[in-house]
Amino acid sequence: MVTLSKIYTRGGDAGMTSLGDGARRRKDDLRIEAYGTVDEANSFIGLARAALSEAPNERRLAAFFAAIQNDLFDLGADLCVPEQAQAPARLRMRQDQVDRLEREIDALNADLLPLTSFVLPGGSQAAAAVHVARAVARRAERLMVALAAEPGETVGMPALKYINRLSDFLFVAARHLNRFGEGDVLWTPGGAR
């Protein structure tokens, strides 16, 4: 259990912060950027949850969004302690978290109208917030891939799989929220000319 008795420490005033293993890094370090962007995606999922109604399909999504928000804290904990660190209690993403996302993607996608065009972000307020979360999750994925490519840095495969699958889930969830795809805003190539 985490206990925070004081919110500010002044330890980051000079642009440095601590990883979970105590190592100090600049706040613009790629690892910090990666888990900070995961936190940003988590915040947009919270915004989407707040916009959901009490309709049965939206209550189901709200419960799954809550599980994802917890997973994203797990992902942040995973990223804030490098794999080579000697921290005693390391929380790592696991394949079963990826598997759960895949099952939910398949279940939601089965209810959707087939796509006939690319979907523009929008539709209902909740769907629009989910589309923002999806775009931020894609940015987090790009940062995690870049981090994994850095000499001396690693990112676990379950973490990379999870963030990749999350954006897929968020795409089908947004379509689900847009009346199972009926309310999707479709791209019209050259339509704004």
Domain boundary assignment for the chain:
27-82+91-112+121-182
How many other CB atoms are there within 10 angstroms of residue 109's CB atom?
17
Q: How far apart are the first and last CA of the chain?
A: 56
Q: What is the mean pLDDT of residues 75-86?
A: 84
Cα angle for residues 72, 62, 52 (degrees, 5° grid)? 120
pLDDT band at 55 (very low <50, low <70, confident <90, very high): confident
What are 144-173's pLDDT values in tens digits?
999 999 999 999 999 999 999 999 999 999
pLDDT single digits (tens) 124-142 = 999 999 999 999 999 999 9
Q: Between residues 70 and 180, which one has the greater pLDDT?
A: 70
Query: Under CATH, what is the fold of the domain 27-82+91-112+121-182?
Result: Hypothetical Protein Ta1238; Chain: A; (1.20.1200)
How many Å apart are CA 184 and CA 167, to the nearest integer?
A: 17
